[in-house]
Structure 1
C-alpha cells in the first residue's frame, strides 16, 4: 500500500510513521509528502529520508479547486492508495474527498465527537473533563466528523498542566496512528489478494 502523508508543521506524527515503517511495524511505502507550508520542519524530516515532497499552498494557485486538482495530479503520479493527515491544517475539499472516498484518515487529539477543531487538547483541558484521548477517523466534508476507526482513552490527573496533557496525548498519537495504519494496510492487502 502506498501512502501520502499530509502535514503543515513540525511533523512529529509523520516522524512516528516514518520510524514505524523503518522498524518494520508498518508494511507500507511512504510515496510522498504534501505540505502547504514551505517553512514547516516536516519538509526536512521528509527530505532526510528521501521522501518526495510537494510544497504547495492554496495561495500559490488561482483557486482552491486548482490547488486541489494539482494535489490530485501529484497523488496519482505517486500511485497513492491512502492519504494520512498528520497535522495538516487545511480543510480537505470536495475534489480530493470525491477522488479518494474513504481513503483519507486523520488523527485528532480528543475523544471525538467531543472537542473537534484545532484546539482539541486545550478545549478538553479548559473544560475540566476527567478523560480525553486520541481519535483516528476517516475524513469527510465536516470538521472531525468522519467515521471513527479507533480511539484510545486517557485519564486526566487533576495536577496535570496543559503541557503535561499535550505530551501525554502526543505519546498516544505516536503509538496509535502507526497501529491503525498497519491494520488498514493489512485489510488492503487481504482485499487485494482476494480480488486476484
Structure 2
C-alpha cells in the first residue's frame, strides 16, 4: 500500500508523537509514514526521541524569526523538502496564521485535551473541574483558522471524580490520548488523496 507521508509538529516531550511513530513503524498497513518531526523549541525532548527512532528531527526556533510568517515559511520549506502530504500537531504550542492553515486545509490535524467544542485553548483540566463537569476528555480535530474549532474526527472521555485535581485529570486524559491519536490519524487518512506533486510548491 502507498502510505501518506506525514510530519509531526511538537513543542515538548512528544509522547503522542512517539506513539504515532511507533504505530507507523510497527504496522506496515498503517496508512501514515512519519517522515519528519519539527519543533519550535530546540531543547524539546521530543526531538531526541524522534531521532532515536530514525525520524529526521528539525528544530526551528520561532524566536529566531521576526514574524510568524517568516517562521512558518521555514517550516513550509522543510515540509516541502521532505515531500510531506499531511501534518499532525502534537503538543505544538504555536498559533498558526490563517495563510499557513489555508495551505494545509484538510491535511492538518491536532489533538486537544477537552471534549470540544468545550474548553478551547489552555488550562482545560482546571476549567472542567471548576465547572463541575462529570466528564472530560480529549479530541482530535482538523486545524482551521479559528483556534480548536475544526471538525472533530474522534474523542475519548474520562470520568471526573470529586477528588480530581488538574494534574490527576491530566494524567487520566493522557493515558487515553495515544491510542486516540493513532486511531484518529488512521481514520483521517482512509479517504485521503495526496496532492499532485506538481502543485506542492504552491502549498
Alignment TM-score > 0.5, same fold: yes
Deviation at 1:178, TM superposition (A): 0.3
Are the counterparts in 1 of residues 125 and 169 from structure 2 also a CA contact under 8 Å? Answer: yes
Unaligned runs of 5+ in 1: none
Contact preservation (8 Å) 1:108, 1:120 = no
1:139 maps to 143
* C-alpha contact (below 8 Å) 2:10/2:89 kept by paired residues: yes
TM-score calculated relative to the size of structure 1: 0.90
Question: 1:18 aligns to what?
Answer: 21
Note the 1:175-194 alignment, pairs <5 A. Answer: 175-188=179-192
Q: Verify: 1:52 aligned to 2:56, yes or no.
A: yes
1:22-171 to 2 correspondence within 5 Å? 22-24=25-27, 26-171=30-175
Moved more, 181-190 or 32-41: 181-190
The TM-score, its normalising length taken from structure 2, stands at: 0.87
The total of aligned residue pairs comes to: 192
Cα distance in 1 between the residues matched to 2:165 and 2:63: 37
Stretches of structure 2 that go unaligned for 5 or more consecutive residues are 197-203
Q: Establish whether residue 4 from structure 1 lines up as the match of residue 7 from structure 2.
A: yes
SS at match of 1:133: strand
CA RMSD of aligned residues (A): 2.0
Q: Is the 8 A contact 1:26 1:181 kept in 2?
A: no
